[in-house]
A and B are shown apart, each in its own frame.
Chain A
Amino acid sequence: MKTVEDLKRMREQFQSQTKLRHAGGIQIIVGMGTCGIAAGAREVMSAILDEIAKRKLQDVTVRQTGCIGMCEKEVLVDVVRPDEPRITYGKVTPAAVSKIIGEHVVNGRIVEELVVGKISQ
C-alpha cells in the first residue's frame, strides 16, 4: 500500500536528480462544466493522466476549466505548447487521448481531424 512516506522518498529522489526540465512546459486544459462531465470529461482526464504517467512526461501541466460554450463538441481539450497557437480538440474520447499526446504533446504534430479551434497567441 502506498503511504505518505513513499511520497516523501519520491520527492527526495526528485531533488537529487539533475534538473533536466525546461521552463514553460506544455499545458493541457480539459473542459469540465456540467456539459463536459456528462460527455465523459473525467474519463478523458483520467486517460490523459495515465498517458502522462506511462510516457513519463515531466514538463506537462494539466488544468480543468468550465464550459466554454461549445457544449455540443464536448469533451473539449486544449493543448498549449510554448510559442505555438492554442489548439482546441473536440469530441475527445479516452481512445483519442493517446494519439493527441503522442502526436501533438510529444512530437508537436497537430491532430488535424480532431481540431475544432485554433487561437494564435
Chain B
Amino acid sequence: MRELALHILDLVQNSLEAGASRVLLEIIEDSGADTLTIRVSDDGRGMDAETRRRVIDPFVTTRTTRRVGLGLPLIDMSTKQCGGYLKIDSTVGRGTTVEAVYRHSHLDRPPLGNIAATVKTLVIANPDTDLIYRHSVDDAVFTLTTRELTEILGDMPLTHPDVIVWLDEYIAANEANLYGGVQHENS
C-alpha cells in the first residue's frame, strides 16, 4: 500500500466484516510527540486472545475463501519500519481496537494520502454503519459522522449526486483547514 489512507480503508473493512454497527476512526497527528496514530475502534464480534495474537501472522486469516490474510501483517510491517508499532485490543462480543503508530517525521513513513477518498467511500458505501471520523493535527480537529449526515438528509440518500459533490468539497476543505489551509503532503 502506497499510502496510509489505503491501510485505513483496509482496517475499517475488517471492522465491517466483524459485524460492527459503530466504527470510530481516529487519525491523531501530534508534532510534539512526533507521532501519527491511526486508531480504529469497533463494536464488532471481537477476537479471543489466541486469534488476536495470531492475526499479524500472514498465514492466518478468518476468511474461508483463501488461506492467507495480509491486511494486518502489512500494517504491522509498515509501522515497524517507521519506528512505530501496531497494537490490537479485542474482547469477544465487545469489539476490537487497532492502533497503528508511526514516527511522524520518519523518512519511510508513507504519506496519509487521499484520506478524503477513503472517508467518502466509507460513509457513502456503508450508510447503515455509524462511522465517526476524527482527524486531529495538534489542536485542530475535523470530525465527520454518518449519523450527523443522515439526520440532516432524512430520506435523501447519501448516493444522491448532489450529496456526493458536497461531501467531496466538504471533506477536502476541512482536511486542508487542519493544515492551516496551506499545501500539505496529502494534497
A, B co-complexed? yes
Listed in ascending order, the chain A residues whose CB lies under 8 Å from chain B are 1-4, 6-8, 10-11, 14-15, 30, 32-35, 37-38, 42-43, 45-46, 49-50, 52-58, 60-64, 66-69, 71
Number of A-B contacts (CB under 8 A): 114
Q: A69 near B9 (CB under 8 angstroms)? A: no
Chain A residues with CB under 8 A of B10 = 34, 37
Q: Please give 11 more A-B residue pairs, beta carbons under 8 A apart, in addition to A38-B6, A49-B121.
A: A7-B153, A7-B170, A8-B152, A10-B156, A15-B156, A32-B13, A34-B74, A45-B125, A60-B159, A61-B157, A63-B126
Closest-CB distance, B75 to chain A (whole angstroms): 10
14 A-B contacts (beta carbon < 8 Å) = A4-B170, A7-B170, A8-B152, A33-B13, A34-B13, A45-B117, A49-B124, A55-B161, A58-B161, A61-B159, A64-B16, A64-B122, A64-B126, A71-B66
In the complex, the chain B residue whose C-beta lies closest to that of A68 is B65
Q: B9 near A10 (CB under 8 angstroms)? A: no
Q: B66 near A42 (CB under 8 angstroms)? A: no
Given contacts A45-B121, A58-B160, A62-B159, contact A2 B169 (CB under 8 A): yes
Q: B1 near A37 (CB under 8 angstroms)? A: yes
Chain B residues with CB under 8 A of A53 = 161-162, 164-165, 168
5 closest cross-chain pairs (CB), A and B: A69-B65, A64-B125, A34-B71, A2-B169, A2-B170
- How many chain B residues touch the partner (CB < 8 A)? 43
Q: A64 near B17 (CB under 8 angstroms)? A: no
Q: Which of B65, B66, B118, B159 has the most CB of A within 10 A?
A: B159
Bound CA–CA A72/B153 (angstroms): 38
Interface of A is mostly: helix
Interface of B is mostly: helix
Chain A residues with CB under 8 A of B149 = 7
Bound CA–CA A30/B16 (angstroms): 14
